[in-house]
Amino acid sequence: MASHYFVTEEEASVDDFREFCQQRVEANAFPLASEVVSEVLIYDRAVLEDAAQTHKRTVLNELHQALSYGPGVFVVRNLFPDTEIIDRASQVFETIMQSEATTRVQADHFSKAGNNGRIWNALQKMAEASPEVFRDYYANPLLGLICQAWLGPAWRMTSQVNQVRPGGEAQQPHRDYHLGFQQSSFAVGFPVPVQILSQYLTLQGAIAHTDMPLASGPTQLLPWSHQYELGYIAYRRPEFVNYFAEHFVQLPLSKGDGLFFNPALFHAAGNNTTKDHVRTANLLQISSAFGVPMEEVNHERLLKLVYPVLLNGELSASEVNAAIAVAARGYSFPTNLDTDPPVGGMVPKTQQQLVAEALNAGWSVEKFEAELDAQTLKRRA
């Protein structure tokens, strides 16, 4: 633990780091987990869903503990039990990737440009390409429960598709957004408590869109590494890179599985050493209502595309709520309190509340779009 609040890069100690990483999971502390593999907690979708029906708070507590005081990472098997929707989404992603291949640089934060296939802002692009696929894909209540376990309500989701082709090289080990994207020289300007706070503003997830055998290079993970306080200024240092290389673990995933981890966990996409297996994942980055998401999603445009397919009544109430949580903004701020004052409370109506009101009342597409435009205009300064 840091003895003072502003530290230098030289104060990062791989010996201290090692002590955190040598912790071991006490299985009885995570009774809902099906097993522990290489210090990664494994959950079964059906078990979590059943438990949440009667003891939702218990599920939220355990998943939060797993990401904070636990190993910092867990897998949910069969998060998408019907992989048909995964395949439909993959077809949409492939079409988008092909259309962008000649017009965009396939950049990656922690790997060589061109090494992997990427779709930035895949959340909005999926809705633009196929509102029906967006609706069916994100109508997953358990996904929302996992987000709530780390971030509470009113989180905001973004997604980026990552495709690692045969021969694709591993990323460098790193931590993620926010401070994980900054140079160490910038991160040291933040007091250590704020560096620790950074991890509580984001949840990292990955939905497997293909089977991921070990040879295909599923994510390299270093359980418990998120607990090291100086990790944001340490992960580029050679001694930490070497420790990661010697101790990381990998788990094979099946199509439809979900992997979730604390953004402060040291991790990296692995080498795809196969000759013919393309590894594809939808990377989810879910942001706290109190933070700034990495990508700006045009939720107004997205909702105008998705509302008509939500209106047709094909989903259950819980599935509709799950889709709304992804498609619409769930926090009242920032806004313009001169033109968008609270009515009947202390905060203005959220975008999610507007969508739910419209669906419950059966508003026409035209009425919904007019009300959405009016709400958006009121929020502008």
337 or 306, greater pLDDT: 306
Q: Give 108's pLDDT tier (boundaries 50, 70, 90).
A: low
pTM: 0.93
pLDDT of residue 106 exceeding 90, the answer is no
pLDDT of residue 102 exceeding 90, the answer is no
Report yes or no: 149 and 41 within 8 Å, Cβ to Cβ.
Answer: no
Name the nearest CA neighbour of 146 among 262, 290, 28, 30: 262
**What number does CATH give the domain 19-287?**
2.60.120.620
pLDDT above 90 coverage of the chain, percent: 90
Report yes or no: 205 and 258 within 8 Å, Cβ to Cβ.
Answer: yes
Mean pLDDT of 298-326: 96
In tens, the pLDDT along 232-254 reads 999 999 999 999 999 999 999 99
Residue 116 confidence (pLDDT): 76
Q: Give 346's pLDDT tier (boundaries 50, 70, 90).
A: confident
Write down the mean pLDDT value for the chain: 94
Residue 130 confidence (pLDDT): 98
List Cα–Cα distances, 83 to 39, 87, 116, 257, 279, in angstroms.
27, 6, 23, 10, 16
pLDDT of residue 109 exceeding 80, the answer is no
pLDDT of residue 330 exceeding 60, the answer is yes
27 or 302, greater pLDDT: 302
**Which structure tokens are listed for 119?**
């779709």
In tens, the pLDDT along 195-211 reads 999 999 999 999 999 99
**Domains in the chain: boundaries:** 19-287, 299-379
pLDDT of residue 3 exceeding 80, the answer is no
pLDDT of residue 179 exceeding 50, the answer is yes
Q: Give 105's pLDDT tier (boundaries 50, 70, 90).
A: low
pLDDT of residue 191 exceeding 50, the answer is yes
pLDDT of residue 190 exceeding 60, the answer is yes
First to last CA, the chain: 44
pLDDT of residue 2 exceeding 50, the answer is no
Residue 313 confidence (pLDDT): 84
Q: What is the DSSP letter of 116?
A: E
In tens, the pLDDT along 123-162 reads 999 999 999 999 999 999 999 999 999 999 999 999 999 9
Q: Give 343's pLDDT tier (boundaries 50, 70, 90).
A: confident
pLDDT of residue 259 exceeding 80, the answer is yes
Report yes or no: 185 and 123 within 8 Å, Cβ to Cβ.
Answer: no
Q: Give the separation between CA 202 and CA 265, rounded to whole angstroms.
A: 12
> In 4-124, which ranges are E strands?
35-37, 40-44, 73-77, 116-119
**Which value, to the nearest 10 degrees, does the dihedral of the CA atoms of residues 228, 179, 93, 372 take?**
120
pLDDT of residue 1 exceeding 60, the answer is no
DSSP 3-state percent helix, strand, coil across the chain (nearest 5): 45, 15, 40
Name the nearest CA neighbour of 131 among 373, 284, 361, 303: 303
Q: Give the separation between CA 204 and CA 199, rounded to whole angstroms.
A: 10
Inter-residue long-range contacts of 355-360, CB under 8 Å, 24+ positions, other chains counted: 355/303, 355/307, 355/310, 355/324, 355/327, 355/328, 356/321, 356/324, 358/307, 359/307, 359/310, 359/311, 359/320, 359/324
Q: Give the separation between CA 213 and CA 279, rounded to whole angstroms.
A: 9
